[in-house]
Amino acid sequence: MSELKEIQRRMASAVMTPLTRADRMQAKNRAGRSMRAEARQFIKPNNRLSSMERLEIYNQQYWFRILESFASDFPGLRAIVGARRFEQLSVTYLADCPSRSFTLRNLGSRLSMWLGKHPEWIQPQERLARDMVRLEWAHIEAFDAAEAPILGPEDLLEVTPATRLDLQPHIRLLQLAYPVDDLLLAVNKDTDEPSDAASNAGSYQRKQHPAAKKMQQLDPERIYLAVYRHEFLVTFRRLTPEALRMLRSFQQGNPLGIALDHALRGSRLRESELADSVREWFAEWSLLGWFCKVPDTTRSSERRQNKI
Q: Rounded distance, CA 200 to CA 301, Å?
A: 44
* Percentage of residues in the chain having pLDDT higher than 70: 90
Contact 291, 165 (CB under 8 A): yes
The region of weakest confidence among 7-21, 122-136, 204-218, 260-274 is 204-218
Give the pLDDT of residue 3. Answer: 86
| Nearby residues of 173 by Cβ (< 8 Å), 6 or more positions away | 224, 225, 226, 227, 239, 244, 247, 248, 251
Give the pLDDT of residue 155. Answer: 81
| Confidence tier at 209 by pLDDT (50, 70, 90) | confident
Q: Rounded distance, CA 89 to CA 84, Å?
A: 9
Give the pLDDT of residue 206. Answer: 58
Strand partners of residue 215: none
Question: pLDDT tens digits, residue range 221-233?
Answer: 899 999 999 988 9
Question: pLDDT tens digits, residue range 45-88?
Answer: 999 999 999 999 999 999 999 999 999 999 999 999 999 999 99
Q: Is the dihedral of CA 114, 116, 117, 121 positive or negative?
A: positive
Question: pLDDT tens digits, residue range 102-137?
Answer: 999 999 999 999 999 999 999 999 999 999 999 999
- The pTM for the full model equals 0.85
Contact 40, 32 (CB under 8 A): no
Q: Hey, what long-range contacts does 194-202 have (CB within 8 A, 24 or more apart)?
A: 194/71, 194/72, 194/73, 194/75, 195/68, 195/71, 195/72, 197/71, 197/72, 197/75, 197/78, 197/83, 198/67, 198/68, 198/71, 198/72, 199/68, 201/83
Mean pLDDT across the stretch 189-203? 49
Residue 43 pLDDT > 70: yes
Q: Which of 37, 56, 54 is nearest to 45 (CA)?
A: 54
- Per the prediction, the chain carries an average pLDDT of 88
Give the pLDDT of residue 192. Answer: 52
Contact 143, 235 (CB under 8 A): no
Residue 208 pLDDT > 90: no
Give the pLDDT of residue 195. Answer: 44
Q: Evaluate the omega torsion of the peptide bond into residue 124 and state whether it is cis, within 30 degrees of 0.
A: yes
